[in-house]
Amino acid sequence: MPVITGPSELSSQLPSQLPSQSSDHLNHQASDIPHCHALDVITGVGKISTPIAIKALSRAVERVPIMHAVLSPEDESYTIPAGVHVGVAIATPSGLAVPCLRDAHRKSVEEIAADVARLRRLAIDRRLSRDDAEGGTITLSNIGSVGLVSGLGIIQPNQTALVTVGKAVDGAMHVSVSADHRLVDGLTLAEFLAAFRQSVTNPGEG
């Protein structure tokens, strides 16, 4: 049973059936996170913009909140953040930046679009503040914006999942999720992708 530890934050012990070696041999560097993956194809959709994908992602996280949990340094417990703060992968001349779009669950698509545009400008100009650059609880990579159809991402440090959205081809869009297997199993990934699909195909709901 989760225990309330803050205004809207939850904390819980990890499931007892997790292999004990997970906490002994894994640290929080992204390259060492034990990844699990799931793929889905959403049909009947056209081009999905990054703001729409972020909004759909935030709604899916609200339905399956473990997807943006934060694992403790000892790998023994996790916290569910109060807000959905989405890291947005942005390509810049100096490399990839992943600034944080805060409280995506509370914002309209139009407000998210304005935030994405602001963060993109700051990232390209290398003027992101620490507040802009840190604090993401889950990351979105819209590789469809550069013409790619599908791909798998690497989870950011201190996050549980990364969602990759590809280019829609003939009304079909590929979506993949990479998640921390210490917290998330295949059933959870399926539930999350179903929630994401519902949000994309029915944007007026929720």
Digit-by-digit pLDDT tens for the chain (206 residues) are 232 233 345 555 544 333 332 333 334 445 688 999 999 999 999 889 999 999 999 999 999 999 999 998 877 899 999 999 999 999 999 999 999 999 999 999 999 999 999 999 999 999 999 999 999 999 999 999 999 999 999 999 899 999 999 999 999 999 999 999 999 999 999 999 999 999 999 876 65
Asked if residue 27 belongs to a domain, the reply is: no
* Cα dihedral 40, 45, 46, 49 in deg (nearest 10): -60
Asked if residue 77 belongs to a domain, the reply is: no
Asked if residue 58 belongs to a domain, the reply is: yes
Asked if residue 21 belongs to a domain, the reply is: no
Asked if residue 155 belongs to a domain, the reply is: yes
Other Cβ atoms less than 10 A from the Cβ of 106: the count is: 10
Give the separation between CA 72 and CA 178, rounded to whole angstroms: 19
Determine the pLDDT at residue 17. 37
- Calculate helix-pair angle for 50-63, 109-124, nearest 10 degrees: 120
- For the annotated catalytic residues, the residue numbers are 181, 185
CATH number of domain containing 181: 3.30.559.10
Asked if residue 182 belongs to a domain, the reply is: yes
Question: What residue numbers bound the domain in which 42 lies?
Answer: 35-66+83-201
Q: How many domains does the chain have?
A: 1
Using the structure block, give the residue that is written with the tokens 């934060």. Answer: 70
